[in-house]
Structure 1
Amino acid sequence: MNSPLSPRRLSWAFCFLGWIVAPLRGEALETKALWVVKDALCSPASVSEMTRTAWKNGFNLILVQVRSRGDAFYRSQFVPLAEAIQGSQEPEFDPLKLAVEEGHRAGLQVHAWVNIYILWSSPYHPVNPKHLFYLHPDWFARSDGSRIRPKKIFLSPELPQVREHLLNVIEEIIENYQIDGLHLDYVRYPNNHYDYNLTARTRFMQRYAIDPLGLAQGSEKLADIFGVVGIEDLSRKRLAWRAEQVTRLVEAIHDLISKKKPWITLSAAVKPDVDEAYRKYGQDWTEWANRGLVDFVIPMAYSKDTEVVVQQVEQAMRAVGRKRLYAGIGTYNKPISETLRQIQSVEALGVEGICLFSYNSLEKEPGSFERLRAGFLPSPQERKRR
């Protein structure tokens, strides 16, 4: 026989019902973030407009892209100033400094978004002769030991000199700017055909006594020496080696921040499929999150298909838990109605934050922010009432 609900049980029932309903207006999300691509940082007016728009429309975190292709949207002694702001009519203009000041004034968290290994991706060469493109071609990742792809040049994750340079870049940012966080992007290999830089190959050979290029090319001689089982074992070691090189940098950045400014949050944008991230890109982000090397990861679940996005976020949550995960959702490739559907779908899974890619794509479409705010994101006035 069913007994009536006691007042205490009734109270719990209403709490449970409230927990279910709350996500419909974004209440369960602690973090509502925007990736801000470098184009929005090219003038003081555009920076001010960006921070004002983010605040007005209910966001509380901006990830501002201050390192894109081996350049700097800030003042640096290691990296040349970005071409987009060279010759600015305001010579003292510092995009990162202004973004931090304006963002903090608006109550926003501001994270410096830095592209790590990618160095260049244009058919036109850099203008500045001090760009790393010219200074260290010996640091480039290579797909077959000699060839490079001029439209997509990455630094080699396997070179200690590259790691040292990148740590200098990171240290300069965290020392000189009052950022709340550091956000890593392109912290990976270009794909599974890299890296066969001669120095990188030599380092692998010193450990395993085999040329990784021969292993990748399926050398018959190696197959005769090691056999099928031996080749499979070496291939697994090669995958682990690649991931180890990237993880060593993430670990070093974590240690640097812990030593210098432990209150700074460290995060990374990552490939959404766990297995593909590891095998194809050498990106073992589940280890980074589970070891506490990063405070959170943002799987870039940019698919137009909401079911795919939900599957990818669910897989990521199983791998690292919801506390170390924000869902990255693309806005550039779908209507706002579908973006809203995806936000609500991943929030229903229990994620603590979302990050939209990008501010720039939303800003280009009139009414996009207003529709997001009306359909999901509470405005500052609504936040005060609540």
Structure 2
Amino acid sequence: MQLYKYYRVLTTLLLLLFTSPLWAQYAYPKREFRGVWVATLDNIDWPSKQGLSADEQKKEFISLLDFHKLNGMNAVIVQVRSEGDALYPSKYTPWSKSLSGKQGVSPTPYYNPLRFMISEAHKRGMEFHAWINPFRALSNYVNEDPAYNHITRSHPEWIITYGDLKIINPGIPAARRHIIKVIKELLMDYDIDALHIDDYFYPYPIKGASLSDYSTYKTYRGAYSNIADWRRHNINEFIKDVHEVIVKNKPMVKFGVSPFGVWRNQKESKAGSPTNSAYTCYDHLYADTRLWLQKGWIDYIAPQAYQNTSHKRIPYQPLIEWWAKNTFGKHLYVGHATYRVGNKYEDGWDSNKEIPTQVRINRSNKAHGSIMYNSSSLLMNRQHVTDSIRNNLFYVPALPPRMPWIDNVPPNKPYNVQVSQTTKGVVLTWQAPIRASDGDTPSYYVIYSTKSRKPDINNPLDILAVIPASQRYYFDTEARSTNSFYYAITSLDRLFNESIPVIPDNKKNKNSAVITSGR
């Protein structure tokens, strides 16, 4: 009997600990970006193969979203332009061959894949980041048959051949302006949450190959006496122009870049990271990523920290600690190499502890989130990496971090919230609020629910669901009566600013108030 008494006391203390807001915020932050890259080049992730029917493509993408929603993801980063092509109808670029099997041919029967994908992501409360490769024209030109309107045919004078690649020459102003037009079309025609650019600016070095842009340099160098500085200037101008076109046309759209993980080593710059990488963004890809954060041209950086925690030249933890100190107030979403997990030929990756360790390093350094490369690697679940993400790391839901420099005005709260008993369980209904002072209406609603206490909107353990604003009801099939749970509901705008909560006036929590301090 005495032993049982101590057991009851211990379990009660553990329950209080694991459901306390303090513990929840330490182990599971309420605000955390959780994304996954979905590559379409060569059908790496989606569609599974070329030539699938439209219905088969849709079915696969819905399955992919549902899978990652169960994994705790709140965003997908989908490659919509991989090599001078598009997963949507465009005035400037041909259809991607990843869909039909032939570049320039639309899916059959016809549909707009991008519009479909955005809609399905938003239905699940997930952000859609449109990932583009701005300068890559062909990834392997020897085996390609470009469409008649592909950039390599319409403007061959803009193209550089480098190894197996054909790239759009970043040093030609007219070529950069063309890409800006492609981006503007994407912004204006689609309800994307963010524009995302990866690490392909100037190409990665190939031993024995030279970049044949010296004649372009002589034509456009201006005051630059050093070709490396001129190349960096070209990419800086491009990033600045992208930032400006977003701010001018769709200021609520986020802009993020996912570069190679190392900006510069300390041996090249006192401001660099304590790494010893063979090449760097600044010196070899001509991408001054740190400057873009300093200038406020990008809203988030997602460095590809694809080396593990025991890597000798680019150890994970010192690199993340450096990035956390060099974001200049913008967001840091760390890129993880889940595709390397289980690789017995790379030291440090044959462990089921590597990715959990990395995510915890991110959190201890107050990084704003993680992005997993890639979708297929999570489906494979090597070393149970997906199990770790789903059942531990991302087990508790999280909202994407706020970006107050874009929008700092919360939406108004929903009103006329009602709780009713049905044969399927308890249903919550409500009405949409009026527009906020900045004109925003909700994009999503958050339902909070607890059984033994009042909901605390600071505690992610209390989040029951995030649902699209088009849905103004929620069935709680776990509740047997209106007295079973406490509830609260808030509005979210598209930048995930959150309203003050409303608590339904059901019998159990009538006239109660949820905890709101410190949100």
Give TM-score scaled by structure 2 length.
Answer: 0.60
Measure how far apart 1:374 and its partner are: 1.2
Taking the aligned partners of 1:306 and 1:174, their CA distance within structure 2 comes to: 41
The higher relative CO (CA closer than 8 Å, separation ≥ 6) is in 1
| Runs (5+) with no aligned partner, structure 2 | 1-16, 48-56, 265-279, 343-351, 398-448, 450-460, 466-519
Structure with the greater alpha carbon radius of gyration? 2
Q: Are 1:172 and 2:185 an aligned pair?
A: yes
Any conservation in 2 of the 1:289–1:324 contact (CA below 8 Å)?
no
Taking the aligned partners of 1:47 and 1:118, their CA distance within structure 2 comes to: 25
Q: Are 1:50 and 2:50 an aligned pair?
A: no
Taking the aligned partners of 1:383 and 1:36, their CA distance within structure 2 comes to: 30
Taking the aligned partners of 1:89 and 1:163, their CA distance within structure 2 comes to: 29
Q: Give 1:343-362 correspondences, 5 Å limit.
A: 343-362=359-378
Equivalent position to 1:106, from 105, 114, 124: 124
Identical aligned pairs, as a percentage?
24
Equivalent position to 2:306, from 279, 302, 305: 302
Taking the aligned partners of 2:127 and 2:109, their CA distance within structure 1 comes to: 26
| Runs (5+) with no aligned partner, structure 1 | 1-13, 142-147, 209-233
**What residue in structure 2 maps to residue 133 of structure 1?**
152
Equivalent position to 1:273, from 259, 262, 268: 262
- Match of 1:92, as an amino acid? Y
Measure how far apart 1:95 and its partner are: 2.1
With over 3 angstroms needed to count, the CA separation of the structure-2 counterparts of 1:23 and 1:280, relative to structure 1, is farther
With over 3 angstroms needed to count, the CA separation of the structure-2 counterparts of 1:22 and 1:133, relative to structure 1, is same
Taking the aligned partners of 2:329 and 2:21, their CA distance within structure 1 comes to: 20
Measure how far apart 1:89 and its partner are: 6.1
**What residue in structure 2 maps to residue 119 of structure 1?**
137
Taking the aligned partners of 1:62 and 1:201, their CA distance within structure 2 comes to: 42
Give the alignment's Cα RMSD to 1 decimal. 2.6
Secondary structure of the residue aligned to 1:346 is helix
With over 3 angstroms needed to count, the CA separation of the structure-2 counterparts of 1:195 and 1:320, relative to structure 1, is farther
Taking the aligned partners of 1:97 and 1:271, their CA distance within structure 2 comes to: 30
Q: Give 1:1-386 correspondences, 5 Å limit.
A: 22-24=25-27, 26-27=28-29, 30-38=32-40, 39=43, 40-42=45-47, 43-86=57-100, 90-122=108-140, 123-141=142-160, 148-191=161-204, 193-194=210-211, 196-204=213-221, 206-208=222-224, 234=225, 237-275=226-264, 276-305=280-309, 308-321=315-328, 323-335=330-342, 336-365=352-381, 368-378=385-395, 384=463
Taking the aligned partners of 1:54 and 1:306, their CA distance within structure 2 comes to: 28
Taking the aligned partners of 1:306 and 1:104, their CA distance within structure 2 comes to: 38
Per-residue CA deviation, residues 39-93 of structure 1 (Å, 9 max, x unaligned), is 3443111211122122222111111100111111111111110012136663322
Taking the aligned partners of 2:112 and 2:212, their CA distance within structure 1 comes to: 35
With over 3 angstroms needed to count, the CA separation of the structure-2 counterparts of 1:355 and 1:160, relative to structure 1, is same
- Match of 2:166, as an amino acid? I
Taking the aligned partners of 2:211 and 2:228, their CA distance within structure 1 comes to: 11
Taking the aligned partners of 1:160 and 1:305, their CA distance within structure 2 comes to: 41
Secondary structure of the residue aligned to 1:182 is strand
Secondary structure of the residue aligned to 1:80 is coil
Taking the aligned partners of 1:93 and 1:311, their CA distance within structure 2 comes to: 46
Taking the aligned partners of 2:170 and 2:109, their CA distance within structure 1 comes to: 34
With over 3 angstroms needed to count, the CA separation of the structure-2 counterparts of 1:129 and 1:385, relative to structure 1, is closer
Any conservation in 1 of the 2:71–2:394 contact (CA below 8 Å)?
yes
Taking the aligned partners of 1:383 and 1:207, their CA distance within structure 2 comes to: 59
Any conservation in 2 of the 1:323–1:351 contact (CA below 8 Å)?
no
Per-residue CA deviation, residues 365-384 of structure 1 (Å, 9 max, x unaligned), is 37643331112112559663
- Match of 2:35, as an amino acid? A
With over 3 angstroms needed to count, the CA separation of the structure-2 counterparts of 1:63 and 1:89, relative to structure 1, is closer
Measure how far apart 1:36 and its partner are: 1.1
With over 3 angstroms needed to count, the CA separation of the structure-2 counterparts of 1:96 and 1:34, relative to structure 1, is same
- Match of 2:307, as an amino acid? S
Per-residue CA deviation, residues 337-371 of structure 1 (Å, 9 max, x unaligned), is 32222111222111011111111221233764333
Taking the aligned partners of 2:158 and 2:106, their CA distance within structure 1 comes to: 31
With over 3 angstroms needed to count, the CA separation of the structure-2 counterparts of 1:373 and 1:325, relative to structure 1, is same
Measure how far apart 1:27 and its partner are: 1.9
Any conservation in 1 of the 2:246–2:253 contact (CA below 8 Å)?
yes
Taking the aligned partners of 2:236 and 2:150, their CA distance within structure 1 comes to: 26
Taking the aligned partners of 1:165 and 1:121, their CA distance within structure 2 comes to: 19
- Match of 1:291, as an amino acid? K
Per-residue CA deviation, residues 174-230 of structure 1 (Å, 9 max, x unaligned), is 1111111100123521146535252333222x535xxxxxxxxxxxxxxxxxxxxxx
Taking the aligned partners of 2:238 and 2:322, their CA distance within structure 1 comes to: 25
Any conservation in 1 of the 2:136–2:167 contact (CA below 8 Å)?
yes
Give TM-score scaled by structure 1 length.
Answer: 0.80
Measure how far apart 1:133 and its partner are: 2.1
Secondary structure of the residue aligned to 1:90 is coil
